[in-house]
Amino acid sequence: MTVTVETAGVLPDTIYDSLRRGIVDQSHAPGSMITESLVASLFGVARPTARLSIERLVGEGLLRRENHRAARVPELDRADIIDIFDNRSIIETEAAAALARLGSVPLPAVRAHDALLHDVETNAPFAANDTAFHRFLVEGQPSPRLARLHSLLMGEVELCIGQIQADQLRQPETVAREHQAILDAIVARDPTEAARLTREHIRSSRDALVARWDAGHDG
């Protein structure tokens, strides 16, 4: 991966953002090693600065580090995918139902949906705005504890959505249409429908990833 940033005065947030994008869009493929020396060389910074960004990504689940080993982009297996999406479904269906009971759609989620629609129109990568939509829905519901639980999953969820985007496993037009249906159910104050649509939306992505994993490990 070629990184085109100014090396003078590069901030940890800049390094973090660039690495994060590369992991999500598969420029850093699953299994790739991300070392402090590599990051320091790419960005022209000292190793302690590189370490800050790496550890932040490890904390979010976008990188994994075993004892005394370099960080790597996680390679998710079939059981990982199912576990991530099934737990995500538990949290996000409850969040959608809670919002529907209030009839309240968080403004940041609406903006993320509008940005996703723009991605569809311009044929741009959609993973970031897809992820943001779900994150903002959960953050906008009343329970801060539910939001904290969701944040623990979001790094791995983003990895999965990045794989869906890279392998074109779901069409962004379909994703946007399903998001709109969830928003409509929330505005209609229909918690049962909001939960059902959210569950089906998440399962569709889970099943697409599982099918791809199965195809790559057949026999």
Q: What CATH number does the domain located at 78-216 have?
A: 1.20.120.530
- Tokens 């959960």 belong to residue: 138
pLDDT digits over 9-53, tens only? 567 888 999 999 899 888 898 889 999 999 999 898 999 989 999
Residue located via tokens 């590599």: 38
- Report pLDDT for 8: 46
Does the predicted TM-score (pTM) go above 0.75? yes
Please report the pLDDT score of residue 80 as a whole number.
Answer: 95
Task: Tell me how far apart the alpha carbons of residues 148 and 122 are, in angstroms, rounded to a whole number.
Answer: 33
Give the model confidence (pLDDT) of 86-139 as tens digits.
999 999 999 999 999 999 999 999 999 999 999 999 999 999 999 999 999 999
Using only the alpha carbons of the chain, give its radius of gyration: 18
Rounded distance between C-alpha atoms, residue 182 and residue 99, angstroms: 10
Per the structure block, which two tokens stand in for 82?
Answer: 């199912």
Across the strands, what pairs with 71? 34
Strand runs labelled E in 31-85: 33-34, 71-72
Q: Which tokens in the block code for residue 155? A: 């790094």
CA–CA gap between residue 1 and residue 158 (Å, rounded): 19
Beta bridge partners of 160: none
Architecture category of domain 12-72 in CATH: Orthogonal Bundle (1.10)
Instruction: Please give the Cα distance from 72 to 74 (Å, whole number).
Output: 6
| Burial class of 121 by CB neighbour count within 10 A (0 to 12, 13 to 18, 19+) | exposed
pLDDT for 67 equals: 76
What are the sequence ranges of the domains in the chain?
12-72, 78-216
pLDDT(1) > 50? no
Confidence of residue 219 (pLDDT cuts 50, 70, 90): low
**Taking the C-alpha atoms of 16, 18, 23 and 24 in order, what is their torsion angle to the nearest 10 degrees?**
100
Whether pLDDT at 3 is above 50 = no
Cα dist. 62→28, 74, 155, 211 in Å?
A: 11, 7, 5, 22
pLDDT for the residue numbered 136:
97
The pLDDT of residue 6 is 40
pLDDT, position 217: 85
Chain center to CA of 171: 16
CA-based nearest residue to 152, from 72, 59, 83, 214:
59
Q: For 159-218, what is each residue's pLDDT tens digit? A: 999 999 999 999 999 999 999 999 999 999 999 999 999 999 999 999 999 999 999 887
pLDDT attached to residue 9? 54
